[in-house]
Structures are given as structure tokens and as C-alpha cells.
Amino acid sequence: MTTTVTAPHRLWRNARYLTWLVSDTSKGLAATLFAFAIPLLALIVTNDPAQAGVIGGAGMIARLALTLVGGVLADRHRRILLMLIGSLTGILLAAAFTLLALADALTFGTLLAANILLAARGGLFDVAGESAIKEIVPDEAMGRAQAANQGRDAALQLAGGPLGGLLLGVGGWLVGVVMTLCHAVAAVTAWMLRREARRAGIADTGADAAVVAPARTSAWAELREAFAWLFSRPDLGGVLVIITIVNLGFNAAITTVMYALQQAGYSELLIGSLGAGVGAVMLAGAVVAPLLVPRIRTGVLAIAGLAGGAVGTVVLATVTEPWAIVIVLGASVVLLPALNAGMMGYFMVATPTELLGRANSAAGVLGMGAMPLAPLIAGFGLTWIGREWTILVCAALCIVAVALALGNRALRALPVESRWAEHAKQYELDRP
């Protein structure tokens, strides 16, 4: 009897994955630049942390609301086509922002509108790009793909802060120009990905990027199905509550620090450099992540990463010098790439392809549902109770998340990468 040994999938020889990565990275850089610029522009224009918080919170609410719609679209239509449409929409919105900045027309109202529209674009179309990777990368390579994506995200943070600071130092219009170019690159590469799929003869199949939902099913019924599926899975549903709490606490703390530095008179370039320092640590963590995910249980990585973030947030309340802030934040996020690679990789493997768009959007809404409160907590907290107490409130939220994680048996039981598929199947068998 002859035994056939299948060679491991070589991710970096997967031309479709590399094309997808360029498209997603270009879009991500545009989002990173705008996320850096919008709170600082809001503070420059209004000189009011509370109003800046309203602008940031409104954008997050718009993104969360339309992410649900985006999930339904991603399961009903071809995901790569939606990537292309989303990039073309990004070109138009970024160009409009550029014109507003050139005309010196950036006010509280126009910044509010620009943030809402660009966030809405992300909600409608980004889910499709995130879900398309399941049809491009096989399950056996999903952990490595997610670790590579974490490295990419860290590199964006590393470059995005200083680049955003330099561009913003020239003017908000230059941020808009670079965003427009980024979305143009994302559009071209999404078109190339669609063309490659057609040449391979898979454009009209579910393997291309989407499984079309039955026409007789309403969008609300499809969303209910996704939420019901998530909460029927102890390995996924309960974890999302924990992620919601820690995301709110940690991101509100970071936003508080950014607002406080701007109000203290530090330059946009210096604030951007802080983000670069944290990004450098995350990049180092992303390099190590492919070594940790196959060897250490995902549940252990998750709890360790959450605990590091909670401790770092407590310490953050006691430091005010920029160099000290970088050290504390860097120590807080060093395990974050491994945590994200493990959790996101497991989620992709455990979720059926035909449900992935809606499951991604449902998980995103549940995991990020409280995020619109982060800039509001930062803005009003600085105004009412000051920097130290605002960050301590954020730290309390992070500590609650760690306590919940320690008490969550399903989270603690998540195994190493090689056992993800086997582990996920037991929950499918347990369903009535």
C-alpha cells in the first residue's frame, strides 16, 4: 500500500493570497491614516475633547450598524466584487475629503460627516474582504495567514503614525491625497484578484468568494441565523463578551492618552511616533506569533494577552512622559498578535463558508459593540475627572474582562492550531 504525503501549503507561493494581501493592506493603510488624523483634526478644529469624542463615536456607531448589512452582502454576493466596489467608493470619499481640506472647509460638521461616511464604507464592504480569505487560503495554512496579517497590521501601525504625523503637519488635504491613492491600489488589486479567479475558472462557484443566500430568506432572518449560530457555540459566543469589554477599556485608555498629549501641546508628529513605537513592538510580537500559535494553546495565549493589557492599562495611569507611555503600551501589546492570530484563525476554521460573512459581521458587532463609547469616555472623562481617573476607569474594565476569561471554560480549553478543526467539530456534534 502506498502512502501519499501532502506537502504543506506554501502561503507565499499562493498568488491569490498575495494579491489579496496587497489589496487589503492598501485599504488598511488608508484606514490607519484616517483613524490617526480624524481625532487630531477634530481637536485642532474644535479645541474641545468632548466634541472630538462625539465625532469619533459617531463614526464607530455608523461602522457597527452597517457591518451587519455588510455581512449579509458578503454571503449573498461575490466577495471579491464587493472588495472592488468598496475600494472605488473609498476613492470617491477620500477625494471629497481632500477637496474639503483644500477649501479650508473642515469644521465640526464636515468632519462628522466625513468620518461617518468613511466608517459606513468600511462597514458595508470590509467584511467581504475579511471573509474572502477563507476561499483563498486552506484551513491548514489559516493560522500562518492570520499571523502574517497580524504582522501586516503591526507594520501599518508602525508606519501609519509617523506618516500620518508628517502628512498632517503639511495639511489635512495631504492625508486625503494619500488615502485616495491607497484606495486606488486596493481597487486595482481587487480587480486583478477577480480576473485571476475568472482565469482559473472559479468565478461562478462558491469557491470564488461567496455562497449566495437563498432569495426567499430575509436579511433579518439571515442575521438571526448568524447570531443564533454564534451563541450556540460556547467556544465562540461567550468569548465575544470578554472581547467587547477589553476592547472598550484598552482603546478608551489609548484615546485618553492621545487626547491628553494633544491638549498638553505635543506635536502631531510626536504623537504619531508613539504609535510607531507600539507598532514596532507589535511587529516583533507578530514575528514570534507563528512560533507560539502552533505550540501554545490558544486559550492560554488569550488569557495571557488579556492580562498583559489589563496590567499595562493600570500602569499607564501613572506615567505621562511620551517615552514611558511607549514602554508601557509596548509591554501591554506584545502578546496581542499571537492572541489575535489564534482567535481569528480558530474562528475562520470553525465557521462554515456559507455563514462566514454574517458570522464575521455579528462577531465584529458583538466584539466592538461598545467601541463607540471609547472616544466619549476619553473626551468627557478628560473634561470631568482628568487623565489619571479616566485611565483607571478603563483599567477597571480590562480587569473585569480578565476575570471573565479566567472563569470561561470554553475559552480556556481552546487548543493549539493543529487541533482547531477537530476541536471545532465537537461543538457541531453537541448541537441538538
Give the per-residue pLDDT at 277. Answer: 77
Mean pLDDT (the chain) is 84
Residues above pLDDT 70, as percent of the chain: 92
In this prediction, residue 179 carries a pLDDT of 95
Q: Domain extents for the chain?
A: 13-205+218-430
What is the DSSP secondary structure assignment for residue 5, as one 8-state letter? P
CA distance linking residue 277 with residue 332, whole number of Å: 12
pLDDT digits (tens, 9 = 90+) for 21-36: 999 999 999 998 888 8
What is the pLDDT, as a whole number, of residue 194? 86
Residue pair 358/75 in contact by the 8 Å Cβ criterion: yes
3-state secondary structure of 15: helix
* pLDDT above 70 (res 315): yes
The pLDDT, as a whole number, for residue 40 is 85
Please report where in the chains the cell 481569528 appears, as a residue: 344
Q: CA 334, CA 284: separation in Å to the nearest integer?
A: 8
CA gap 384, 374 in Å, rounded:
15
Q: How far apart are CA 35 and CA 38, in angstroms?
A: 6
Most confident of 16-30, 34-48, 275-289: 16-30
Distance CA 152, CA 272 (A): 18
C-alpha cell at 336: 496581542
Of the pLDDT bands very low, low, confident and very high (cuts 50, 70, 90), residue 336 is: confident
* % of the chain surpassing 90 pLDDT: 32
- Going by C-alpha positions, the residue among 409, 384, 391, 354 that lies closest to residue 79 is 354
The amino acid that residue 382 corresponds to is: L
Q: Report how far residue 139's alpha carbon sits from residue 131's, in angstroms, rounded to the nearest whole number.
A: 13
427: pLDDT strictly greater than 90: no
* pLDDT reading at 186 higher than 90: yes
183 and 90 Cβ atoms separated by less than 8 Å: yes
Instruction: Tell whether the model's pLDDT for residue 212 goes beyond 60.
Output: no
Has residue 7 got a pLDDT over 80? no
CA distance 374 to 252: 4
- Could you give phi then psi for residue 180, rounded to 5 degrees? -60, -45
Residues 6+ apart with CB under 8 A from 202: 208
User: What backbone torsions phi and psi does residue 237 show, to the nearest 5 degrees?
Assistant: -60, -50
pLDDT of residue 405: 92
Q: Please give the single-letter amino acid code of residue 136.
A: I
SS3 content of the chain, % helix, strand, coil (to 5): 80, 0, 20
pLDDT for 65 = 84
What pLDDT, on a 0 to 100 scale, did the predictor assign at position 55?
Answer: 87
**What are the tens digits of pLDDT across the range 363-400?**
888 777 777 788 889 989 998 998 999 999 999 999 99
**Band of pLDDT at residue 316, cut at 50, 70 and 90:** very high
Query: pLDDT at position 35, please?
Result: 85
pLDDT given at position 2: 41
- C-alpha torsion sign, points 75, 81, 87, 90: negative
Confidence of residue 3 (pLDDT cuts 50, 70, 90): very low
Q: Which of the pair, 213 or 16, is modelled with greater confidence?
A: 16
pLDDT of res. 201: 58
Predicted confidence (pLDDT) per residue in 82-112, tens digit: 999 999 999 999 999 999 999 988 889 999 9
Indicate if the pLDDT at residue 204 is higher than 60: no
Average pLDDT over residues 222-232: 86
Q: Which of 195, 137, 187, 128 is nearest to 14 (CA)?
A: 137
For residues 181 and 56, the model is more confident at 181
Q: Which fold has domain 13-205+218-430?
A: Growth Hormone; Chain: A; (1.20.1250)
Question: Of 65-74, 148-157, 182-191, which has the strongest mean pLDDT?
Answer: 182-191
pLDDT over threshold 70, residue 6? no
User: For residue 240, what pLDDT band results from cuts at 50, 70 and 90?
Assistant: confident
